Each structure stands twice: as structure tokens, then as C-alpha cells.
Amino acid sequence: MFGMMKNSLFGNTEETEYKLLSSETKDGVSFEVRRYDAFKYAAVSSEGRTFDQVTGELIRKLLMYIGGSNEQGEAMGTAAPIIITVYPRNDGVLSRRLVVGIRIPSDYQQSPPTPTDSAVRIEERPGMTVYALQFGGFAGESEYRAEALRLTRTLGETAPFQRKQYFCCSFDSPLKPYGRRNEVWFLQEEP
């Protein structure tokens, strides 16, 4: 527990690097197109509860893992963003299924510590190109849905992105009261 608090409060956060492909503004809405490399992530899943009911619990599991609750007892530091994969229904409402992931910090990418919590799994995620829309404040389901709708309208119906899932990204500790950074990412369909 102390490792998790130390990481969150005093540790350096390693932000996931990306290649900026373009920065665009359409109808007054600014977004970026980015390319992320493949990385290993720690991930946990949930089905049956809403986004706002379960995300805090799932994020804590991941922070405990990277904070030292693993077989090696390694406090790895933190990485940003925390990525929540959501699956919207046709009406835009999020289904009760989601996956929360955090990138394993660089020093541990080759050989991540083994989780002690059976809910935490290590997965290799492929590289991806995303449309990214940034916004501030504390974000829950309604804020992410509103920003996803804004990005959808900005990109238009013919833009090549996956519509069956998107990513809700948080870059800051919940203890940070202002100047917060959140993003919605749409996965670009590869040609």
C-alpha cells in the first residue's frame, strides 16, 4: 500500500511516448492524430457494473500492482495515461464491460513482475494510431461520453476509426485538484 501511495504522490510519472502525425482543428475542435508503439500493459476487466461504479476499484488494483503488490515486491513507478477501454452501444451509452490498463514502466517492459492479484494480467498490446481529443477536469462516464460524441461529430461519419470501442484516458492522480488532463482516443482503422 505504501508503495502505491509513494508512486502516486512522490514518484515520477513516465508518460507514454508517441509520434505526432498531425494536429488538426475542425469546427473549432482541436485534436491530434498519434502513433503509439507496442507495449506491455497490466490490465483488469469488469463486466456487470457501470463505468463510474467500478473504475476506481480497478485503477486501485493496477496501482497496487505497480506499487509493489507483485511477487517480486517491486515498486515500479507509474506510467500515464491510465487507459480505460469502453464499448458503447448504438445509442452511445456505455455497455457494462470495460478494461482498465496501465503501461508497464520502461525499466520493466522486458520482464514485468508477476502479479499477486489474479485479476491483474499482463498483456502485449500492439502499436496503434489514434485520434486524440484532450479535455480537463475530473472525468467520469458522462464527461467521457460527451467528449467522445464531440470527437465523433468533428471527425464525421466517414472517418476511418473503430466505433465498437474507444479509450478513456486519465493522465493525473485523483489527488490533483486542477490542471487535470484527460483524453478520448479513437482507434484508427488501418488501411
Please report, for the chain, the start and end positions of each structural domain, with discontinuous segments joined by +.
7-188
CB 41 within 8 A of CB 103: yes
Is residue 96 within 8 Å of residue 88, measured between CB atoms? no
CB 131 within 8 A of CB 45: no
pLDDT over threshold 70, residue 109 = yes
Residues in CB range of 80: below 8 A, 6 or more apart: 13, 14, 15, 16, 170, 171, 172
Q: Domain 7-188 - what CATH class? A: alpha beta
pLDDT class of 11 with cuts at 50, 70, 90: low
What's the average model confidence in pLDDT over 151-164? 93
Phi, psi of 57 (to 5 degrees): -65, -45
Quote the percentage of the chain above a pLDDT of 90: 80
pTM of the model: 0.90
Reported as a pLDDT band with limits 50, 70 and 90, residue 92 is confident
The mean pLDDT of the chain is: 90
| Residue 157 pLDDT grade (very low, low, confident, very high; cuts 50, 70, 90) | confident
Strands 39-47 and 78-80: unpaired
Give the pLDDT confidence score for residue 6 in this predicted structure: 43
Q: Is the peptide bond before 113 cis (omega within 30 degrees of 0)?
A: no
Phi, psi of 177 (to 5 degrees): -80, -25
